[in-house]
With several copies, the nearest count.
Chain A
Amino acid sequence: MTVSIADLVPGASESGGDLSAATLREMFRFMLLARVLDERMWLLNRAGKAPFVISCQGHEAAQVGAAFALTRGKDFTLPYYRGLATVLVMGMTPTEVMLGLFARATDPSSGGRQMPAHYSHRRLKIITQSSPVGTQIAHAAGVGLAERIKGGDAVVWTSFGEGTTSQGDFHEGINLAAVQQLPVIFQCENNEYAISVPQKQQMAVTSVADRGPAYGIPGISVDGTDLLSVYEVTRRAVERARRGDGSTLIEARVVRLTAHSSDDNDRTYRSQRELKSMRLSDPLARFAAYLHDQDMLSEAEERDLRAEIGAEVDAATEAAEQAPMPDPETLHNYVYAL
């Protein structure tokens, strides 16, 4: 099922639904923060200071919209490696993100053990991610199962790419959540590529949401560059999950504005035309234009915000760069939990 915000809340995409102007500006702030941080990481990579970057550029609206529908400190998130905007909204700081980029000892995700963008933060209920794609989908079902056993009402949210839907764990995890009616939201961020492989070589359907009915749960496809639509769709999925009605599969159609990662060169498989035209779908520009239109954000305010965020990212970069590397002696720590 493909929905637009207008189907859900008549007039919503014009009005921003029931969100206050302050909240909308806050959402914009997170999108911008994610973008600026992400761009900075590429600069650091190109300058030889960060060996690996993988981006959320183009996915910001899908992530900020969804995360705003969750309750921070209560709900669990299991975001995949493009989830920078997700973890920022859930409470990770730019400095913490940069500590991960530089693999510093105090990186909260892994103490410099994992590649950047493998987010984890126990206090924030962000569950540790690995690199083999799709495993978190099964974990998410399990977190939901435990919640049901404990009688709690936290909701579990996980994200993954459309390529990852080809994995067995996608199927097994969603199926379990559906059978047991678990409070889990599965967000597929469909950017039409798995590294170089286009969507049509992953699936013979046009939308990942078409798979919801195969599991007996709603499958909803939403324009993932439209923050308010994603927010609204997720809000409803959260309500459904919280009241015990079970899982939802959401496909957020996004664009991948960068190469797959700093190790990739997408000009070998995307045409010049495509590389250019995708820029038109930039969710950040889209939401900025919306806020300007609605007179919720002036040019001057945006400029100030950019300056403020720029400074914040400078400070985060500097703090993280100066943080100590992991002590080689710590290699042997935490093989087993005590």
Chain B
Amino acid sequence: MPEINLLEAIRQGLDEMMAQDDRIFIFGEDVGRRGGVFRVTEGLIDKYGPLRVLDSPLAESVIVGACIGAAMNDTRPIAEIQFADFIAPAFNQIVQEAARIHYRSNGDWSVPMVIRAPYGGGIHGALYHSQSIEAFFAHVPGLKVVAPATPYDAKGLLKSAIEDNNPVLFLEHKKTYRLIKGQVPEHDYRVPIGPAEIKRPGEDLSVFAYGLMIHYCLEAAQSLAASGVSVEVVDLRTLRPLDVPTILASSRRTGKVLIVHEDNLTGGFGGEIAALIAEHAFEYLDAPIVRLGGPDVPAMPFARSLEDAFMPNPQKIIEAMRRLAAY
């Protein structure tokens, strides 16, 4: 199996799906000739033409809004939001429209579309090119929210997202784009939306994370193994619908839980995971449920010194794991 980075996996996923189904089109800022500011859609305009790889006006509300309309007229739109931070102007269209259309029409209409959004920090993007946005959207019934960590998962989940008959927010951690490489089979495969995956089995404590943090958690788990602590790392992969059975089973088995995300701690999605465990796996817990998240400051600053202070990293995770293991 060839080894490719996460960005290439996504591009391949787009390409293979577009080749199979001419109802699929891409709509977003600079996705055409420029191939997207991260180059994810590079080359696609040459293959599929400017009608299916279409530069939008600089207006996120109508990027999403028009894709909603298009999805109701028998196409399968893929909206690209240039940076997840800029999804905010489209909040109304996503939350009040895309997510509610199937429900409000009592099943009559549906909105099969994907919204791709590069998110996350540690890339020197400052306050407005570093944000994590999953908590806002994972709260919304009717939406699906996916956040893969590996090239294999990214490609397989992207294909599932495109085939899904619901609006799917597809979160791509910018720092993983070129940093994370992995084997991706040449044959056509899917990773289903929903199931989490135990990326590293372990006995002493369970760690739940997604996106870039999975890699930091694996690194931390590896380093703890040396001191005889066995850490299970569960990659949630899909945040909505959430794989509650896998979360509970792992928590019950190890009795100790650490939840890691880069998003601001308070009101972050980690709260939901902790709450589920505190309600449904309570009897099995041997220690407080610990969350490690970004600090509660408005966003990640530009200066390296401040960015480093903001970002969760393997060292901070190791410390949290140690404390928890020792509890």
Interface residues of A (CB under 8 A from B): 51-52, 76, 103-105, 107-115, 118, 120-122, 127-128, 130-133, 135, 137-150, 163-164, 166-169, 172-173, 175-176, 179, 194-197, 201-203, 263-264, 268-269, 325-338
User: Would you call B295 and A331 a contact (CB within 8 A)?
Assistant: yes
Question: Could you list 9 A-B pairs, sorted by A, with CB under 8 Å?
Answer: A103-B304, A113-B127, A115-B125, A115-B128, A139-B97, A175-B57, A176-B62, A335-B141, A337-B102
Given contacts A109-B106, A138-B64, A268-B34, 12 further A-B pairs with CB under 8 A are: A114-B128, A120-B105, A130-B100, A132-B92, A132-B97, A135-B93, A138-B66, A143-B72, A168-B59, A173-B65, A176-B59, A195-B34
Which of chain A's residues have a CB closer than 8 A to the CB of B67? Answer: 142
B105 touches A338 (CB 8 A): no
Q: Please, how many angstroms separate the alpha-carbon atoms of A222 and B29 in the complex? A: 27
The answer to whether A331 and B301 touch across the interface, beta carbons within 8 angstroms, is: yes
User: Measured between alpha carbons, how far is A227 from B282 in the docked complex, in Å?
Assistant: 68
- Check B208 for interface membership: any CB of A closer than 8 A: no
Q: B69 contacts A201, CB within 8 Å?
A: no
B296 at the binding interface (Cβ < 8 Å): yes
Residue B52, interface by CB 8 Å: yes
Expressed in whole angstroms, the Cα–Cα distance for A265 and B64 within the complex equals 27
Residues facing A in B278-327 (CB within 8 A) are 295-298, 301-306, 308-310
Contact with A along B126-160 (1 / 0, CB 8 A): 11110000000000011010000000000000000
Chain B hits for A332, CB < 8 A = 295, 297
A135-B102 in contact (CB<8A): no
CB distance from B38 to the nearest CB of A (A): 10
Partner of B70, one of A135, A149, A169: A149
CB-CB < 8 A to B33: which residues of A? Answer: 196, 268-269
Please tell me if the beta carbons of B65 and A51 are within 8 angstroms of each other in the complex.
no
**Nearest-neighbor residue (CB-CB) of A123 within chain B:** B108
Q: What's the minimum C-beta distance from A267 to chain B, rounded to whole angstroms?
A: 11
Contact A337 B65, beta carbon cutoff 8 Å:
no
Distance between Cα atoms of A163 and B55 in the complex (Å):
12
The answer on a CB contact under 8 Å between B69 and A138 is: yes
Q: Which of B6-14, B82-90, B252-260 contacts A (4 or more CB under 8 A)?
A: B82-90
The smallest beta-carbon distance between A102 and chain B, in angstroms, is 9
Contact between chains at A167 and B107 (CB < 8 Å) = no
Interface size class of B (residues with CB under 8 A): 35 or more
Cβ-closest chain A residue relative to B107: A334
Interface presence of B58 (CB below 8 A)? yes
Let me know if B30 is at the binding interface, CB within 8 A: yes
B41 to chain A minimum Cβ distance, whole angstroms, is 12
B58 touches A128 (CB 8 A): no
CB of A169 within 8 A of CB of B166, answer: no
CB distance from B76 to the nearest CB of A (A): 10
B47 on the interface (CB 8 Å rule)? no
CA distance A130 to B304 in the complex (A): 19
Given contacts A334-B102, A336-B142, contact A201 B66 (CB under 8 A): no
Q: How far is the CA of A194 from the CA of B308 in the complex (A)?
A: 31
By the criterion CB–CB under 8 Å, are A166 and B57 in contact? yes
State whether A139 and B306 are in contact (beta carbons under 8 Å apart), knowing that A164-B58, A202-B57 are contacts in the complex.
no
Contact assessment for B34 and A130 in the assembled complex, using a CB-CB cutoff below 8 Å: no
Given known A76-B73, A112-B306, contact A333–B107 (CB-CB < 8 A): yes
- In the complex, chain B residues whose CB is within 8 Å of the CB of A175: 57, 59, 62
Contact, CB under 8 Å: B127 / A139: no
Please name all residues of chain A whose beta carbon is closer than 8 Å to the beta carbon of B100 when the two chains form the complex: 130
Interface of chain B residues 105 through 123 with chain A (CB within 8 A): 105-112
Contacts of A166 in B (CB 8 A): 57-59, 62
Q: Which residues of A contact B214 (CB under 8 A)?
A: none
The CA-CA distance from A176 to B68 in the complex, in Å, is: 14
Return chain B residues, CB-CB under 8 Å to A268: 33-35
Considering the chains assembled together, what is the distance between the CA atoms of A100 and B129 in angstroms?
17
Given known pairs A142-B73, A332-B297, the reply for A128 and B109 (CB within 8 Å) is yes
Decide if A113 touches B126 in the complex (CB within 8 Å): yes
Contact at B127–A145, with CB atoms within 8 Å? no
- Are B303 and A337 closer than 8 Å at their CB atoms? no
Task: Report whether B127 and A130 are in contact in the complex, using a CB–CB cutoff of 8 Å.
Answer: yes
Check A131 against B128 for contact (C-beta < 8 Å).
yes
Indicate whether B124 reaches chain A with its CB closer than 8 angstroms: yes
Shortest Cβ distance from A197 into B: residue: B55
Partner of B65, one of A128, A142, A269: A142
A263 touches B37 (CB 8 A): yes
- In the assembled complex, the Cα of A164 lies from the Cα of B72 at a distance in Å of 23
Q: Is the CB of A131 within 8 A of B127?
A: yes
Residues of B within 8 A of A140 (CB): 69
* Least Cβ–Cβ distance between A73 and chain B, in angstroms: 14
Question: Chain A nearest CB: distance from B273 CB in Å?
Answer: 20
Complex CA–CA separation, A176 to B93 (angstroms)? 15
Q: A141 with B74: in contact, given A131-B129, A195-B34, A335-B141 (CB under 8 Å)? A: no
Q: Are B61 and A114 in contact (CB under 8 A)?
A: no
Bound-state CA distance A208–B241 (Å) is 44
Q: Chain A residues near B88: list those with CB within 8 A.
A: 132
Bound-state CA distance A338–B165 (Å) is 6
| CA A307 to CA B55, docked complex, whole Å | 44
Q: How distant is A160 from chain B, measured CB to nearest CB, in Å?
A: 10
Find A150's partner among B57, B73, B309 (CB 8 Å cutoff).
Answer: B73
B17-76 residues at the A interface, CB under 8 angstroms: 23, 25, 27, 29-30, 32-35, 37, 51-52, 55-59, 61-62, 64-75
Say if the beta carbon of B189 comes within 8 Å of chain A.
no
Are A115's CB and B85's CB within 8 A? no
Residues of chain B contacted by A104 (CB below 8 angstroms): 303
Q: Knowing A128-B109, A146-B75, A150-B74 are in contact, say whether A113-B89 is a contact too (CB < 8 A).
A: no
